[in-house]
A = this chain, B = another copy of it.
Amino acid sequence: DVAAGEAAARERLTRMTVPPGALGQVAEVGVQLSGLAGDCPPPVPEPAVVAVFAGDHGVHAQGVTPWPQEVTHQMVANFLAGGAAVNAFATQVGAEVVVVDVGVAASLDPAPGLLPRKIRPGTADMTMGPAMTLAEARAAVVAGVEVARDLVAAGNRLLVTGDMGIANTTASAALVSAFTGTSPEVVTGRGTGIDDATLARKAAVIRTALSRHGLLPSPPREGNPDATRALESSPHAAADDPLGALAAVGGLEIAGIAGLLLGGAALRTPVVVDGVVAGAAALVAAALAPNASQAWIAGHRSVEPAHTLALAHLGLEPLLDLGMRVGEGTGALLAAPLVAAAARALAEVATFDSAGVADKNTTPEAGS
């Protein structure tokens, strides 16, 4: 029972040998984990595993990034060889790395740590038609749910989202625009580091795609000069048909992550959410299952503007804000020890009574 677990955690926090309120956001994570477990202290969420969902994007053909599409495949090989940032950070925090091929536009050889779940070899170009069919989007989400199930069955107690897909900040920004009602020009960021001309083209591509699929937020009303605000006149087409929006302008790895987020929530297993690609997936997943976000912890805030918009829309407060924009799950992995520390504090910190420490609340005359 979520409420009972949260209440037990809040009560315990008042008795722990820590000044009241002094654990800040760490305490809030502890309360969340207790709610998820329906008990306090919650289990320490270890071991952790990062599932890196990989897929390619037809919209790459529109020139939204200077990186060749082959880099998706090459980076997957790098993950499997242990040579990427996600591997270094996973080693540091004691997490396992698995790569889920839901849509790489190349045939991958079997390898330890690679889960072959390819739905199709990359999406279609969202400016020409839907990125994928509804059935494909659904299948990719289901693949993610099943990955969560298998990873938890294998003993993992903390799931971490990861992603790889050249051009996937374009698909993510498109989804964030559609779900938050924010204009393409505001949501679009520099991804891996594009120049001004590419940034303008990327925003125009997103606008074209959203318009084609009936997902473009309405323009600001007359007299409202603040174009960065969510547009109240948005038709909410994405919220009404999240799977349709995902199929139209999303990505296979985004769908897979949405599935992981739903699967983790269904299994009451906490999921640390990485950057803008995971944020877009979380918008889809939250629209499909509003209560699922109880299981989600925002690992970090990436520098992509769409990520901040997604986090605000989801009501998630990130643990880290380090100016990172790597993807792969790197930011969320760095937050994993903080999540575990939150549970451990509830389990291991003594109470004032048990430690023989005077509580200021019980000695009101002291100190003055």
How often does this chain occur in the complex, in copies? 2
Bound state CA distance, A127 and B75, in angstroms?
63
Restricting to A325-343, which residues have a CB under 8 Å from any CB of B? Answer: 325-326, 330, 334, 337-338, 340-341
Restricting to A80-105, which residues have a CB under 8 Å from any CB of B? Answer: 81-85, 87-89, 91-93
Q: Mark A354-366, 1 if CB is under 8 A from B, else 0.
A: 1111101001101
Are A358 and B17 within 8 A (Cβ)?
no
Are A75 and B17 within 8 A (Cβ)?
yes
Bound state CA distance, A325 and B23, in angstroms?
7
Residue of B nearest to A74 (CB): B357
B65, B83, B89, B340: which contacts A344 (Cβ < 8 A)? B89
Bound state CA distance, A356 and B78, in angstroms?
8
Instruction: Judge if A198 is at the interface, Cβ distance under 8 Å.
Output: yes
A-B contact pairs, 30 of them (CB 8 A): A18-B326, A19-B326, A22-B324, A22-B325, A23-B324, A24-B303, A25-B323, A25-B324, A26-B322, A63-B367, A63-B368, A64-B367, A65-B360, A66-B364, A66-B366, A67-B360, A67-B367, A70-B358, A77-B356, A82-B348, A83-B348, A83-B349, A83-B354, A83-B355, A89-B341, A91-B344, A92-B344, A93-B337, A319-B322, A322-B338
Q: Which 6 A-B pairs have the closest CB atoms?
A: A24-B323, A83-B350, A63-B368, A19-B192, A68-B366, A25-B322
